[in-house]
Amino acid sequence: MSVTLFPGVAVVTGAGGTGIGAAVARAFAAAGCQRIAITDLNGSTLQRTQEAINAAHPGVQIFAQAGNVADDHFAESFIGAVVKKFGRVDYAVNCAGILGQSLRSAETGIEEFDRVNGVNYRGCWLSSRAELKQMVKQDALCSHDPKRPAQRGAVVNIASQLGIVSRPTAPSYCASKAAVIGMTRADAVDYSKDGIRVNCVCPGVIETPMIMENPAVRETITPAAEIAPMKRMGQPAEVADAALFLCSTQASFVQGHVMVVDGGYVTV
Ligand SMILES: NC(=O)c1ccc[n+]([C@@H]2O[C@H](COP(=O)([O-])OP(=O)(O)OC[C@H]3O[C@@H](n4cnc5c(N)ncnc54)[C@H](O)[C@@H]3O)[C@@H](O)[C@H]2O)c1
């Protein structure tokens, strides 16, 4: 078997279904990661991700546990269960997220603001906090390149191009993703001394259930893909590959980075 860039343990939130998180989990398996923990609010789509990976990569061990990242205690208990099963957490990709209702600020209720931020920002913070707590106390793994430092862990938060630029009627969502970018940079500053890298990926318009399954959302958001120079929607696998690069020791000097994967949308 060829040497993998991912000898450690991967954790992916929002990994149910056919969206970005599921693509990240599949990409880890395809890249030779042998121990992958996945979670999602939706237990049945999570099971489908597990079955798809088991079918394509029978040797890979999958630990799947459904739960709500917005819950105060779920992330800690999930990471505790991952460590019990696999011993450590090396690569954590936090994908769980929701779009929220299409409203301007004056029409947005506090409940809706809290719901969106509770999953996208607070839920991402709770997940990365639990992952970082584990990473700081584990031994570092050797790099693929003996000249580079060993890595104690890598966190990748999935933010959005809408954390950088905005679109109409999405103040809670845009702000929640800008918060993820700020949190990523702050954690990168704090955890560099521990041999942990923290980066984020900002996808553009990606063809996932979040965009495609609700006709109103599909009609509003998919035309935005035409604004990007590449004039198409991205595929979940294209975001997954960026996340895997940032997790790998090939990205050993990439820290606090905001990697935009949007077909050039924010450049025009
Ligand atoms: N699709 C896009 O165009 C796009 C663009 C930019 C950013 N993003 C971000 O990428 C991430 C993945 O989105 P996607 O497009 O794959 O959407 P998706 O709806 O296909 O996947 C999101 C997953 O998160 C899960 N989830 C939702 N709330 C949760 C909770 N409280 N706890 C645990 N799991 C929860 C859902 O069940 C779902 O499986 C999100 O953070 C999203 O904001 C998506």
d(CA 97, ligand 1 centre) in Å: 4
Q: Is residue 8 predicted with pLDDT exceeding 90?
A: yes
> What is d(CA 48, CA 37) in angstroms, rounded to the nearest whole number?
14
Mutate to test the pocket of ligand 1, among 12, 40, 93 (most ligand atoms within 8 A of CB): 40
Mutate to test the pocket of ligand 1, among 39, 121, 210, 235 (most ligand atoms within 8 A of CB): 210
- Over the stretch 118-161, which tens digit does the pLDDT of each residue have? 999 999 999 999 999 999 999 999 999 999 999 999 999 999 99
Strand partners for 62: 36
> What is d(CA 98, CA 114) in angstroms, rounded to the nearest whole number?
12
209 lines ligand 1 (CB under 6 A): yes
> What is d(CA 37, CA 134) in angstroms, rounded to the nearest whole number?
14
> What is d(CA 48, CA 57) in angstroms, rounded to the nearest whole number?
14
Q: Which atom of ligand 1 is nearest to the CA of 177?
A: 43
> What is d(CA 227, CA 224) in angstroms, rounded to the nearest whole number?
5
Query: In this structure, are residues 246 and 197 in contact, taking their beta carbons and an 8 Å threshold?
Result: yes
d(CA 134, ligand 1 centre) in Å: 24
Domains annotated on the chain, with CATH: 9-258 (3.40.50.720)
- 107's CB contacts (< 8 A; 6+ apart) are none
- Over the stretch 30-86, which tens digit does the pLDDT of each residue have? 999 999 999 999 999 999 999 999 999 999 999 999 999 999 999 999 999 999 999
69 lines ligand 1 (CB under 6 A): yes
Q: How many residues does the chain have?
A: 268
pLDDT bucket at 170, cuts 50 / 70 / 90: very high
Q: Which atom of ligand 1 is nearest to the CA of 99?
A: 43
pLDDT of residue 143: 97
pLDDT of residue 36: 99
d(CA 84, ligand 1 centre) in Å: 27
d(CA 19, ligand 1 centre) in Å: 7
90 lines ligand 1 (CB under 6 A): no
- Over the stretch 186-225, which tens digit does the pLDDT of each residue have? 999 999 999 999 999 999 999 999 999 999 999 999 999 9
| Residues classed as catalytic | 173
247 lines ligand 1 (CB under 6 A): no
State the residue for tokens 């839920």: 123
Mutate to test the pocket of ligand 1, among 44, 95, 207, 220 (most ligand atoms within 8 A of CB): 95
Q: Which atom of ligand 1 is nearest to the CA of 221?
A: 3
Q: Is residue 2 predicted with pLDDT exceeding 90?
A: no
Q: Is residue 176 predicted with pLDDT exceeding 60?
A: yes
> What is d(CA 265, CA 235) in angstroms, rounded to the nearest whole number?
15
Stated as kind and residue range, the H or E segment containing 125 is helix 124-136
d(CA 75, ligand 1 centre) in Å: 16
Which residue has a Cα nearest atom 41 of ligand 1?
97
> Over pLDDT 90: what percentage of the chain?
98
- Over the stretch 215-256, which tens digit does the pLDDT of each residue have? 999 999 999 999 999 999 999 999 999 999 999 999 999 999
- 117's CB contacts (< 8 A; 6+ apart) are 172, 175, 176, 179
- Helix/strand/coil (H, E, C) string of 140-160? CECCCCCCCCCECEEEEEECC
- Over the stretch 143-152, which tens digit does the pLDDT of each residue have? 999 999 999 9
d(CA 193, ligand 1 centre) in Å: 31
